[in-house]
Structure 1
Amino acid sequence: MNCYTWQFLLLTLGHLWPCLLSMQNLNTQKMDQPFATPQRVKRAWVWSQFFVLEEQNSTEPLYVGQLKSDSDKNDSNLKYILTGDGAGSIFTIDEYTGTIYVIQTLDREKKPFYTLRAKVIDRITQLPVELESEFIIKVQDINDHEPKFLDGPYEATIPEMSPEGTSVIQVTATDADDPAYGNSARLLYSILQGQPYFSVESKTGVIRISSQMDRETKEQYFVILQAKDMVGQMGGFSGTTTVTINLSDINDNKPKFQEKFYYMKVSEAALVGSTIGKIMAEDSDIGENAAMNYVLEGDESHVFDIITNNETQEGIVILKERVDYESKKRYSIRTKAINHHTDDHFMKEGPFEDTAIIKISVEDVDEPPVFTLQNYVMEIAEEARNGSFVGAVTARDPDNANSLIRYSIVHSTYLKKLFSINAHNGTIIITKPLDRETAAWHNITVTATETRNPEQISEVSVYIQVLDVNDHAPEFPKHYEIYVCENAKSGQLIQTISAVDKDDSVEGHHFYFSLVQDATNNSNFTVKDNQDNTAGIHTAKNGFSRQEQLSFYLPVLIVDNGTPPLSSTNTLTVSVCDCDSEASTQSCRFGAFMFSMGLSIEALVAVLACILIILVFILAMLVLRKKRKQSLFPEKAEEFRENIVRYDDEGGGEEDTETFDISALRTRPVMREHKSRRNITTEIQSLYRQSLQVGPDSAMFREFIFKKLNEANTDPTAPPYDSLQTYAFEGTGSLAGSLSSLGSSMSDVDENYDYLIECGPDFKQLASMYGPSKSAMD
């Protein structure tokens, strides 16, 4: 028998021992009472809880325990039957002896116990001898599982320089074995790697700091932790995990300059805001603990400034004021780098800052001239004469060479005509009289140029104010239309007047109004000064008559308060008009307008009616003329074509007219209503007389011309302009001789008479004056 069987037997004997003692006592009592009355004894199972070890590997069934009925005589008359969890598959029973066996390997972690039921019957009667009863087979644990860290690996962060004993993190391992039986699940923790900086509590798994650590030296640690069962005894199982511990930064380091002295240069021509150089202090901390500010200290800190680049943590030195090599060549300023955030614990060691010295040298350059002022303001009275002094500008060469300066005025030609500057001393004078009312201010730009180096030029603005002189008399601001009703009462206000002055009064304008002393209308109107730069025109009598006088003229004297005072006389025209009983202004003005034209209301209506009739008549004439234009020349254009007959042979003078039908030149008479047209007979006769001076008098041709003239004057369908139609023929005995082609060699000039029949000298002059076929005479 192996050790497990002996262990099981001992445990079974321990459980059955009380029962055996009870049976022994019962037998003793029976022996002590041999003659007692027989009693029925209740039969019962002789058994208790069973145990079986897990993970038993055997090819044969392993003994678990035995069920025993007290009625069993070991004669095989009883039969034991097993039912419940695993009956038949995991557990079997000997039906004759009641011995229970396990035929499979058990795992307590999968199923810690099994519940079964047992009964015993009589083999012959098949009746139960004992009541069916339930019992448990418990699987006993053995140490077959190692501890495991289910949440590993772990990571934790703690501030650097934390004191000893500071808790970092707690780790927990689990063991699948039974914690209630033996030491299989009792764990102990230990550190395999991470000492001497960390330690662990053996029972709780809490990791603590064993010594202070500096992030700047090392910012991450890897700790290997072990958990071992069986309370750390030999033969137990163990499991490990890793813990990554990061150190967070605290501000425990001061900024530190790598150099104690920094050397820089700046040109005296550098502009304000120019970058001169950069400095940088180092801080071993990171993040906001390394953030710092740079400041300048000392009396010369107003010339320079330093700004901090928050991304690079650099200090940028810039120029705050212009420097002058001739005034100061070197600067020495002290700078500090100071942390933004500090830890009170480390402030005991002193402020978290560092100091360095910046030495700046000024470089000399050729600078342009410098004016004594940034801008100049000058004054001159507008009454000043040409050549009057306005002011002077002054500039100097800031360099040691001290070059001579030349001045000039730039910009518009207009300003150059008004002002002039002395090129040597900068004196400005006027060259043309100034008028404040035209321009009260003049802005000019003056340049200063070095004679040694003309490229060095500076500019300055000069503002010249023209001071006012009382040279303009006051006047009315507008033209006043004043009306007075015939039924006006004495003292009635008919108009309020005011005045303006182009001059600029320092104390404000004040005007005085009055009538001219020798005014002829003083008996009709008065002027009342309101003492507020206005005056009222009042009537001085009751009633006015248009029949006597249509208008009055009031000369008003206006005096200003200038020095010396100026005055002007302005005449007001007061028209008399007819008004209604309420003296309505509108009707008054309308009546004044009519009477000023010399018309009554009836006459005005008649004039308007005549104008309307004339307009209607003109409109009708325009419509009629438009219709006539549309019906002009209804015939085709071919019917108006002028026929030209040419002969190439030598003609016989007047005899050739027999072959030409002059009636073809006549227009067909149209019987229409005769309308008067402009008579141009006088002009035609004048031209006709001129033609008679160069040719013979032909009665037949003269009659033809007059006839055509009468037709033209009486034809209403003719175009809206007068035309001159010329007709000519070569008369008998023409002084010009023949114009045929046979005699063309005698002509020096080749004239073109495409629109004329062969004609003589009688009408050549007339044709040349008015064209070949027609001429405008309007």
Structure 2
Amino acid sequence: MPERLAEMLLDLWTPLIILWITLPPCIYTAPMNQSQVLMSGSPLELNRLNEEQRILNRSKRGWVWNQMFVLEEFSGPEPILVGRLHTDLDPGSKKIKYILSGDGAGTIFQINDVTGDIHAIKRLDREEKAEYTLTAQAVDWETNKPLEPPSEFIIKVQDINDNAPEFLNGPYHATVPEMSILGTSVTNVTATDADDPVYGNSAKLVYSILEGQPYFSIEPETAIIKTALPNMDREAKEEYLVVIQAKDMGGHSGGLSGTTTLTVTLTDVNDNPPKFAQSLYHFSVPEDVVLGTAIGRVKANDQDIGENAQSSYDIIDGDGTALFEISSDAQAQDGIIRLRRPLDFETKKSYTLKVEAANVHTDPRFSSRGPFKDTATVKIVVEDSDEPPVFSSPTYLLEVHENAAINSVIGQVTARDPDITSSPIRFSIDRHTDLERQFNINADDGKITLATPLDRELSVWHNITIIATEIRNHSQISRVPVAIKVLDVNDNAPEFASEYEAFLCENGKPGQVIQTVSAMDKDDPKNGHYFLYSLLPEMVNNPNFTIKKNEDNSLSILAKHNGFNRQKQEVYLLPIIISDSGNPPLSSTSTLTIRVCGCSSDGVVQSCNVEAYVLPIGLSMGALIAILACIILLLVIVVLFVTLRRHKNEPLIIKDDEDVRENIIRYDDEGGGEEDTEAFDIATLQNPDGINGFLPRWGMPTQLWEERNPIQT
């Protein structure tokens, strides 16, 4: 209690003591001119200076002034005296009036216009405004005329410790790696104090930790926070709460303080190895499991987090290293064991593997702790399954000659049931692969027979699928592809490669090659084609043509003489026998047509028709046809022109009355009948001049016609 009372008294008298200490140094004394304004916080001092001012005789007058000071937050019963204004022109007759203007004049600061005393009438806050600039002036009381020029002065607000330190950015968060050494810097915090940092110790801060020891420490002046314990383990405790205090007045008693919190999180480092949850794992898998199927998972736990907990898995030993593989699951951090090769219960019923888990990322600082890895044993038991039949070969290749007989055996497939309780097998052909049903299979022994004749020239390969089915379990089936190749036999005779037609010039030379021909054979002998060419026996001594075998397996036909005449013979037919080299050899006869043609001097064929021979020299049949077509066209144009011209000059109906005439026909005899009718032309009624172009009926004399048809005018 006495200590509390002492602190209260100290807080009450501290501002008064500071005011008493600071006021005397604030009074400034200087030689005065003719006039002066004296500003001071002490009335006694002002009176003394006034006396000195009266004693001194100066030729010039002026203001003498200094700064004034006022303590902030002063709240006495009366306004506080800040200072006094005075001029040597004032004889004490009260004819001088003092005027104050500027910052806060009349509202914060009030002047006695007679005495010049300045009082603060409001409570001041240095943090709100630290100084005020005012202007003082002395004027005549009656005329208000200035007696001296105005003069500026400053009133400064003196600071007291009325603001506590504040952490503006709190609360704070920071991280530091676990296992850090002693004194590792974590972060630093900063507090601010609104008091005057250059006056006294009101803004001098000292930092300390109220909560968070013994794990962390703080430097009192810089507020740098460091680790106070070495090798803090994140796995033991990850987060710490630190309470920090900032105290002004240099940390002395009576100062103000502020606090904030700092949350420190230890970040992970790879200081822990992976560890399998169990040392032995058991898995079972059916023997017919699909390759690549996951058959089990193993897991190694790591107390670290993030990438420091990532582990890779490997199979390092065991009798199943060739059949199994292990991969890492990046999400679950598991090791997944998969099947990479088929299993067979009848061959081996169990396997043992040794797997290893190792950290992907290692920290060399902790290598002295030993290898960051662990091992475990995995036992895999193979379970028996009802497996489908197994063929003796994954594919079959069979060969058959195209002349093979129906029902002849061309090959055989075999299959067995791999299970311990073996089941009989039945074979069949997938008819989707043998739509024409060219093959059959024995259901019991798998022998494939021919159902229809084969022709290599139509199809060389036949691909079918054989199905093997267990008799005891029809759902267990297997399929195997069978490729059947049809072998060639010599069953096709050679023939000309195309329809050849040769042309022979009348002016050709003896020995000239008329045509070169080649042959083809649908068969495919192993050693390739080789053809023999010959003429018919009755044409061996052909007087006109001969043949010559070429090295490229072709044949050339040559003329034996010149002077061929197409008028005598236009076409020659030359039968040629072509034989192959098969066993037995086959042959056929192909006929070459040779036409005799007219050629130019350089051997270019111009015409091969006999009619063209009688045409004028230099004109071909085509040219003659073109000339005749032009002549006919000209004749048609002339006839059309004449007809149109005549129709234009002779209209069919004459409307002019002058051209109308009457023809009276009188018959003197009877029985003219048809002849009289034929003799009459109605056109003469329409065109009287038309008689000039009319011809009498054929065979009737003109005189008789005139007698029978007199013209009456």
TM above 0.5: yes
SS in 1 for 2:608: helix
Match of 1:302 among 316, 322, 335: 322
Q: Does 1:276 align with 2:295?
A: yes
Q: Does 1:134 align with 2:152?
A: yes
Deviation at residue 141 of structure 1 after TM alignment: 0.3
Match of 1:258 among 254, 277, 287: 277
Give, as a single letter, the amino acid of the residue that structure 2 aligns with 1:198.
F
Q: Tell me what 1:286 maps to.
A: 305
Match of 1:147 among 157, 160, 165: 165
Give, as a single letter, the amino acid of the residue that structure 2 aligns with 1:506.
K
Counterpart CA distance in 1 for 2:377 and 2:114 is 109
SS in 2 for 1:346: helix
Counterpart CA distance in 2 for 1:8 and 1:122 is 35
Q: Tell me what 1:506 maps to.
A: 526
Q: What TM-score do the two structures reach when normalised by structure 2?
A: 0.73
SS in 1 for 2:365: helix
Structure 1 residues 61 and 551: CA distance shift in structure 2, 3 A? same
Q: Does 1:341 align with 2:365?
A: no
Counterpart CA distance in 2 for 1:226 and 1:555 is 126
Give the alignment of 1:196-595 within 5 angstroms: 196-211=214-229, 212-298=231-317, 299-386=319-406, 388-411=408-431, 418-430=438-450, 433-519=453-539, 522-563=542-583, 565-579=585-599, 584-585=604-605, 587-588=607-608
Counterpart CA distance in 1 for 2:347 and 2:612 is 85
Counterpart CA distance in 1 for 2:228 and 2:143 is 80
Whether contact under 8 Å (2:392, 2:414) holds in the other structure is: yes
Q: Does 1:64 align with 2:64?
A: no
Whether contact under 8 Å (1:483, 1:589) holds in the other structure is: no
Give, as a single letter, the amino acid of the residue that structure 1 aligns with 2:335.
G
Counterpart CA distance in 2 for 1:153 and 1:577 is 117
1:735-771 residue CA offsets vs partner (Å, 9 max, x unmatched):
xxxxxxxxxxxxxxxxxxxxxxxxxxxxxxxxxxxxx
Deviation at residue 223 of structure 1 after TM alignment: 2.4
- Unpaired segments ≥5 residues, structure 1: 21-37, 595-599, 613-778
Whether contact under 8 Å (2:429, 2:466) holds in the other structure is: yes
SS in 1 for 2:175: strand
Counterpart CA distance in 2 for 1:132 and 1:310 is 86
Give the alignment of 1:168-207 within 5 angstroms: 168-207=186-225
Whether contact under 8 Å (2:500, 2:592) holds in the other structure is: yes
Whether contact under 8 Å (1:514, 1:528) holds in the other structure is: no
Structure 1 residues 562 and 352: CA distance shift in structure 2, 3 A? farther
Counterpart CA distance in 2 for 1:174 and 1:167 is 22
Deviation at residue 173 of structure 1 after TM alignment: 1.1
SS in 2 for 1:509: coil
Counterpart CA distance in 2 for 1:249 and 1:14 is 62
Deviation at residue 179 of structure 1 after TM alignment: 0.4
Structure 1 residues 487 and 201: CA distance shift in structure 2, 3 A? same
Deviation at residue 588 of structure 1 after TM alignment: 2.8
1:620-665 residue CA offsets vs partner (Å, 9 max, x unmatched):
xxxxxxxxxxxxxxxxxxxxxxxxxxxxxxxxxxxxxxxxxxxxxx
Structure 1 residues 15 and 342: CA distance shift in structure 2, 3 A? closer
Counterpart CA distance in 2 for 1:3 and 1:263 is 84
Counterpart CA distance in 2 for 1:278 and 1:203 is 57
After superposing the two structures, state which structure 1 stretch, 315-324 or 182-191, moved more: 315-324
1:172-212 residue CA offsets vs partner (Å, 9 max, x unmatched):
11111100101111111122222222222211122222234
Whether contact under 8 Å (2:460, 2:485) holds in the other structure is: yes
Structure 1 residues 256 and 543: CA distance shift in structure 2, 3 A? farther
Whether contact under 8 Å (1:576, 1:592) holds in the other structure is: no
Counterpart CA distance in 2 for 1:123 and 1:413 is 135
Q: Tell me what 2:185 maps to.
A: 167
Give, as a single letter, the amino acid of the residue that structure 2 aligns with 1:289.
N
1:650-699 residue CA offsets vs partner (Å, 9 max, x unmatched):
xxxxxxxxxxxxxxxxxxxxxxxxxxxxxxxxxxxxxxxxxxxxxxxxxx
Counterpart CA distance in 1 for 2:470 and 2:17 is 126
Whether contact under 8 Å (1:47, 1:68) holds in the other structure is: no
Give, as a single letter, the amino acid of the residue that structure 2 aligns with 1:267.
P
Give, as a single letter, the amino acid of the residue that structure 1 aligns with 2:203.
A
Q: Tell me what 1:84 maps to.
A: 102
Q: Tell me what 1:754 maps to.
A: none
SS in 2 for 1:301: coil
Deviation at residue 58 of structure 1 after TM alignment: 2.9
Deviation at residue 525 of structure 1 after TM alignment: 1.7
Counterpart CA distance in 1 for 2:269 and 2:613 is 101
Give, as a single letter, the amino acid of the residue that structure 2 aligns with 1:144.
D
Whether contact under 8 Å (1:514, 1:556) holds in the other structure is: yes
SS in 2 for 1:355: strand
Deviation at residue 76 of structure 1 after TM alignment: 4.7
Counterpart CA distance in 2 for 1:155 and 1:586 is 109
Deviation at residue 351 of structure 1 after TM alignment: 3.6
Counterpart CA distance in 2 for 1:364 and 1:283 is 37
Give the alignment of 1:3-152 within 5 angstroms: 8=19, 11-14=22-25, 48-69=66-87, 76=94, 79-120=97-138, 132-152=150-170
Deviation at residue 124 of structure 1 after TM alignment: 8.2
Give, as a single letter, the amino acid of the residue that structure 2 aligns with 1:218.
K
Whether contact under 8 Å (1:46, 1:70) holds in the other structure is: no
Deviation at residue 586 of structure 1 after TM alignment: 6.6
- Unpaired segments ≥5 residues, structure 2: 1-11, 32-55, 615-619, 633-713
Whether contact under 8 Å (1:155, 1:243) holds in the other structure is: yes
Give, as a single letter, the amino acid of the residue that structure 2 aligns with 1:148.
E
Counterpart CA distance in 2 for 1:348 and 1:586 is 106
Structure 1 residues 338 and 542: CA distance shift in structure 2, 3 A? same
Counterpart CA distance in 1 for 2:105 and 2:326 is 92
Q: Give me the identity figure in percent.
A: 52
Structure 1 residues 394 and 3: CA distance shift in structure 2, 3 A? closer
The number of equivalent residue pairs is 587
Structure 1 residues 128 and 269: CA distance shift in structure 2, 3 A? closer
Structure 1 residues 331 and 90: CA distance shift in structure 2, 3 A? same
Deviation at residue 103 of structure 1 after TM alignment: 1.3
